[in-house]
Structure 1
């Protein structure tokens, strides 16, 4: 049992002290979900092996009563197994499968493209000692100078926002991916947006984006874990002439997220498909 209700977490931080890793963010939320306090070990990309005594070169990592647990999925599974009397993170194994699918979609749709927009800020906000490492590794990963990679981001950001409609559609009819309360699916996805807030030096989403309600509630979870003063406001992107709509202002409901309870429930949809007027 965690001594004094505390679990040690090895963090990955920026100069501001805000967490930069979406995976560490997910575990911070997971520990909050389980009701634990955190004894945070600070640090950046440089010196992880030294800080952890050679246990790992990747974070997050936790230590619970002397037991080391690595990897953000393994940590969540460990917390559920060791503390089944506390609120469940994953529950049914199918939740992990669904989470990995939607998280993979989010990385391909937004996180990767956002990285091309914010990689210079990602480097500039890192600890000074990390600048050389981040510059070299991200330039190698992304195939160019960081200053060149971000060029044209003002044209890319509106399309990235528009591409998030699948996420908006789910959250228009559900409070959380966990249903009535958040679960580890929410934590994984919120971790991506908390990463965005850690590096965004210009807004990524419209001020009235429908995602804002879920994100605000998610950032407020567990005593406001996502309200670190080092995070940026990700809202405020403005649509320019020629940009795609930043989000669908008039979403239509189809079979993916609407129940059929008889002809009346599908009347408007059927009329739209046939090009007919809807009778009052």
Structure 2
């Protein structure tokens, strides 16, 4: 069965930077499922109109279409029960749901504010007006102003990673001895930043830095092989 994932791309077709798409790609690889990606840009709304909405990821499996990274993860877990579990059981799914909400409401906005001008610089020309208008409305300031003091705000951002550090004190991955979907959720934020910006979010002595290195090497180095900037 042909499996197709619509995946956000920048001006360079192979620069794939959406954190939500990264969650889905890692989930598919975790499950051992083959797939191909279709590069998609913000202005390509018609290309995914069949999904009934206008955002990626969109996964098409035969005659089935699923959008939204969390919904896709649930679909994959239910549809492929004989492949490695994304959650490690019902309790793991509940925890992953909490981390998914925390990441989307806390980490993503904080990191996005740091990276917004770098993202703009990597977009296709046809996407730039849309991106600037929507992000300036979201954050309430021009893109240039949003990143002007990002060095000064780094300590505050790094403090947000405290729950991740606490969890990593119990093992090498948030999911335990090996990565699970909870790792993919949080890691997607750091992969988003790595793919789009040279700005260093982490210090080398941070346990989150070491975990990110392990995640970059997971699944044959899938994330590390993606186009991006050297991590520091």
TM-score (norm 2): 0.90
**What does the per-residue CA deviation read over 1:29-78, in whole Å, with 9 as the maximum and x for residues that have no partner?**
00000112221111211113x22243231111111122111221121111
Deviation at 1:229, TM superposition (A): 4.6
User: Which among 166, 173, 177 is matched to residue 176 of structure 1?
Assistant: 173
Deviation at 1:27, TM superposition (A): 0.3
SS for the counterpart of 1:227 is: helix
Structure 1 stretches (4+) deviating beyond 6 angstroms? none
Q: Please tell me whether the aligned partners of residues 30 and 86 of structure 2 are also in contact (alpha carbons under 8 angstroms).
A: yes
Structure 2 segments unaligned to the other structure (5+ residues): none
Residue number in structure 2 paired with 1:157: 154
SS for the counterpart of 1:52 is: helix
1:7 aligns with 2:3: yes
SS for the counterpart of 1:40 is: strand
**What does the per-residue CA deviation read over 1:68-93, in whole Å, with 9 as the maximum and x for residues that have no partner?**
11221121111122211111112433
Higher-helix-fraction structure: 2
1:72 aligns with 2:72: no
Residue number in structure 1 paired with 2:124: 127
Residue number in structure 1 paired with 2:19: 22
Q: Distance in 2 between matches of 1:71 and 1:108?
A: 15
Structure 1 segments unaligned to the other structure (5+ residues): 236-280
How many correspondences in the alignment?
Answer: 230
1:221 aligns with 2:218: yes
After TM superposition, the structure 1 = structure 2 runs for residues 46-195 of structure 1, keeping only pairs within 5 Å, are 46-48=43-45, 50-55=46-51, 56-195=53-192
Larger-Rg structure? 1
Q: Distance in 2 between matches of 1:150 and 1:156?
A: 9
Residues 162 and 97 (structure 1 numbering): CA distance in 2 closer, same or farther, change over 3 Å? same
Structure with more contact order per residue of length (Cα contacts < 8 Å, sep ≥ 6): 2
Q: Distance in 1 between matches of 2:66 and 2:110?
A: 31
